[in-house]
Amino acid sequence: MNNFSLPVRISLRQADGEYYPVFCYGDPDTRNLSLVPASENQDRAEISFYYHPQDGSAPVNLGLVKLTDLPAGSELQLDAVIDQRGRLSLTVGHRESGRTERLEVNLPDRDSGKSARRVFKWIFGILFVAAGAALVAWLVMVVAGWGWQEPVEAPLSLRPFILPFCV
């Protein structure tokens, strides 16, 4: 990875496998770049774009732009814009032939999925604890015999002594 002062937000993958930053976090949301061929007599270009989360996790592939049957050795123009809604619009064009290819994607929100995962984890945790408590209660009930006890007869009854006086 190239050394840039700000963390990379959007990059393209070069022919050697390295990522080249198109946008860094904190950059303006418009970028124009000239792309040169990786080799002589290159007649096509396949440009993969990646989103780099701020947490340092693996880059997310946003998509691929392909241009074929290009004149050998010609440069391509990349125009990239991120709008206020987080939509990335990429246009790769060949000036001499007038050909262009576009890619538009919604950028993954840095929190997308995290809050949903957090809620899922909480619900799953609560269900797990409730299931564990139910299991423990069931085991205690089985071992102690709760709810299944026969009534115990009193060791001494006053009934025979009271009945003769009531008649």
- Residues 60, 135: one domain? no
- Residues 67, 136: one domain? no
- E runs forming strands in 4-152: 8-13, 19-24, 30-35, 45-51, 60-67, 76-82, 87-94, 99-106
Asked if residue 141 belongs to a domain, the reply is yes
Q: Of 11-20, 59-68, 91-100, 102-111, where does mean pLDDT reach its minimum?
A: 102-111
Q: Whole-model pTM?
A: 0.60
| Domain limits for position 127 | 113-147
Position with higher pLDDT, 64 vs 163: 64
Q: Of 17-21, 111-115, 116-120, where does mean pLDDT reach its minimum?
A: 111-115
Count up the domains in the chain and report the number. Answer: 2
Asked if residue 162 belongs to a domain, the reply is no
- Residues 20, 102: one domain? yes
